[in-house]
Amino acid sequence: MYIRVGLLAVAIMCLGACDDGPDDSTSDDGTTEATTAGETGDDTTTTGNNSSTTGETMCQDNSDCGSGQICQEGTCVTDPGNFWVVGGMGEIINVSPTDAEHHPSPEQRDLAAITCYGNKRAWYVGAGGAGGYTEDGGQTWWPLELPSVDLRAVASTDPLRVAVVGAGGTMLESTNGIEFEPVSGAQGMLTGVDLTPSATVAVGSDGRVWVHEFASEGAARVHDAGVELHDLDFGDHTPIGAAVGAGGALLWSIDGGYTWQPRESHTSQDLYAVQVSSTGDQAIAVGANGVVVTIAGHSVEATQVDTADLNAIHLDAWGRGAAVGAQGHVLHTSDAGKSFVGHTVSTVELFGVDALGERHW
């Protein structure tokens, strides 16, 4: 079941332009303020009379396709600029710059994060072991059997591997997206996770970084940042990653998460989420009081684009994206974070966002 609601645009916010790739140098000084009012993977094969032998859904018009898809040359494909968002009270929403479809979770528990894989698969996790997945582009969501602890983050990569982390050092991995195996060794509240070509890397609220190499038995601590960390991300299939945390903490890794160097973020606001470009040469982070930090080469710029906290950010391969946060705010960008248009799509806080599609930013 879904409920369609309209959106109201409330703001346009502008950020500075990015230049080329990051290194360990610091960058432009200062924080500017903007005016505001407000991984890849193969599709799973489907069955039925409207499916092709390759698993693509055949169509005559957009009504034949699932949430976040459009009919293009007789085949349902991902609609560019369309995103899946999760939040409080089991909120699952498919949003675009002009519309929103609500897919209420039967669990009614706070959902903390979502990850998408290819054109049809996605996973969400949340409080008390809440978890679910789709294999049909969001038309149907099925429950996952996960430990009954607060789960804070989920990530996926190609070839298919899904990782989940949460309270009590919980680290789970799956190679089919349905059955998850625990990984021992990690401790504390794990708040962020991502996958490199050879390992699962997680950060925690105690500032520690954990790495589980796929061939090893357990996770090992590799770094202590000395500050609360909230999230991390690696460029797709690259060893280049960033981690963010309290007080504007920004760390950079070029070796798959084994070593980390601090970088100047030009903000003292807490940073809650980060995304690194697929080539590893740019990054964007969001955080408290609507702060957005853009990183490109020697340039790092912090800009306030909203008054509400921003909890998550996702950009697609064309620089279209969404940041989500408190008060049901969704901020859309079509230029990789240079400007944003704000909407309110829910009355609850939103915590996670991702998009279906073969390529990310």
Q: Could you tell me if 350 and 85 are in contact, meaning their C-beta atoms sit under 8 angstroms apart? A: yes
3-state secondary structure of 163: strand
Q: Is residue 361 part of a domain?
A: no
Q: Is 360 inside any structural domain? A: no
The least confident of 52-56, 263-267, 268-272 is 52-56
pLDDT at residue 24, as a whole number:
39
Give domain status of residue 359, yes or no.
no
Q: Percent of the chain having pLDDT more than 70?
A: 81
Which of these ranges, 28-42, 79-93, 150-164, 207-221, has the smallest mean pLDDT? 28-42
Domain holding 227, by residue range, is: 3-354
Q: Does the pLDDT of residue 204 top 50, yes or no?
A: yes
- Domain presence at residue 188: yes
In the 8-state DSSP scheme, what is residue 158? T
Q: In the predicted model, what is the mean pLDDT of residues 207-232? A: 97
pLDDT recorded at residue 35: 36
Q: Which of helix, strand or coil describes residue 48?
A: coil
The pTM for the full model equals 0.81
Per the DSSP assignment, residues forming a β-bridge with 116 are: 122
Once rounded to an integer, what is the mean pLDDT over residues 32-37?
38
Instruction: Give the β-pairing of 321-325 and 261-262.
Output: unpaired
Q: Which comes out higher in pLDDT, residue 322 or 77?
A: 322
> Which structure tokens are listed for 26?
């610091």
CA-nearest of 351, 287, 357, 314 to 93 is 351
Q: Which of 15-24, 187-196, 225-234, 299-308 comes out lowest in average pLDDT? A: 15-24
Query: Is residue 29 pLDDT above 70, yes or no?
Result: no
Largest CA distance in the chain: 59
What is the CB neighbour count within 10 angstroms for residue 62?
12
Q: What is the arithmetic mean of pLDDT over 191-211?
A: 98
- pLDDT over 80 (residue 32): no
Structure tokens at 356: 């279906």
**What is the predicted pLDDT for the residue at 106?**
81
261 or 52, which is more confident? 261
133 has pLDDT over 80:
yes
What is the rounded average pLDDT of the residues 115-133? 97
pLDDT at 7: 37
Question: Residue 261: is its pLDDT beyond 90?
Answer: yes
CATH code of 249's domain? 2.130.10.10
For residues 71-78, average pLDDT: 72
Question: Average of pLDDT values for 346-357?
Answer: 96
Dihedral of CA atoms 274, 250, 195, 185 in degrees, nearest 10, equals: -130
Q: How would residue 333 be classed by pLDDT, with cut points 50, 70 and 90?
A: very high
Residue 21 has pLDDT above 80, yes or no: no
- Residue 22 pLDDT > 50: no
Buried b (16+ CB within 10 A) or exposed e, 237-254: ebbbbbbbbbebbbbbbb
pLDDT in tens, 86-113: 999 999 999 999 899 999 888 889 999 9
Query: Looking at residue 27, what is its pLDDT?
Result: 38
Give the closest residue to 271 by CA, choosing from 281, 280, 262, 279.
Answer: 262
Residue 57 lies in a domain: yes
Peptide bond into 159 cis (omega under 30): yes
pLDDT(9) > 90: no
Residue 255 located in a structural domain: yes
* 271 located within any domain: yes
For residue range 224-260, list pLDDT tens digits in order.
999 999 999 999 989 999 999 999 999 999 999 999 9
pLDDT at 42: 42
| Number of domains making up the chain | 1
